[in-house]
Amino acid sequence: MSTVPAPAAPTANPSAVTSAPQMADAQNAAQSGNGDLAPVSWDSEIQLVSSLAKLQELERKIHELRAILPQGLLEPLVPISNPDKATADNTISSSPHHLLSDLNQTARARIADIEQFQSMWRGPELKPVWAHVESRISESNGQLLQSSGMWEKDYDELREELLKEEKEKEEQRLREEEDIERVKAQSTEGQWQAVLDGFIQRDIPGVRVIKGHDQMEIAVALTRAGIFFLIHGSSEPDETEPDETAMPDWQISSKVAPGKSRTKLEDAILGCLGSRPRKWDLAFLLVR
């Protein structure tokens, strides 16, 4: 594990960054002195871990930049002095003119690396991080925040884990909300009829809605595109769904004239509609 660079090394423990009550006042003062800093919630664990991951990435690039002098600039000379180290990307120059061109190209590439690093260091994403680190160092009377001088965790991996956990929690929350809505829809008699009547009353230009003979069948014609869809509510609920939230799914198919086949546009629309969530929700299909 590599050492932390000298500029304002952050703490290895995210929870320690938010432990001091006066931290918020110091951070607000730092932000008020620099109006271009966006407000940042340092009580958020994902914000702390993301900031530490950015600092680790900066350190990694610092070690890469240290190799520029002299190795990085002299790469074109390596296969000349040691032919065994020649590669497809770094071959032996065929002439002094080509060697000079290779050296110039290598120098420009290394300068671009330095400029990219400077842009990242001074970029808007890191400005609030530097302000927060400076306020914490000020609170500790100039003492560095990471006593070991080493990174004790891979914060990029930790950030990915936290993002995955947040995504799973959000998906669970959405599933629970959908279950509640399904139960409510199931207990409301004639709700889908009201949704259909409301959709017909909108009288959308180029869209014609026809009720079928089956009470749970609807025909929707996109007159300008010449496309005709059938929407049919399945009589049996999906067996994979829990009984308490079971609702008929609304299936979509297209109707084409005899002797004709579906167009690519129709196939694309059917594919999109078929992959939609909330197949039980007619309002989600028609209105949204």
d(CA 209, CA 230): 10
- Dump pLDDT digits (tens) for 194-227: 888 888 888 888 888 887 776 678 888 888 888 8
| Residue from 168, 166, 159, 182 nearest 245 by CA | 182
pLDDT at 199: 85
With beta carbons less than 8 A apart as the criterion, state whether 218 and 235 touch: no
Which H or E element spans position 161?
A: helix 155-187
The size of the chain, in residues, is 288
168 vs 74 pLDDT, higher one: 168
- Dump pLDDT digits (tens) for 15-45: 333 333 333 444 444 444 444 555 778 888 8
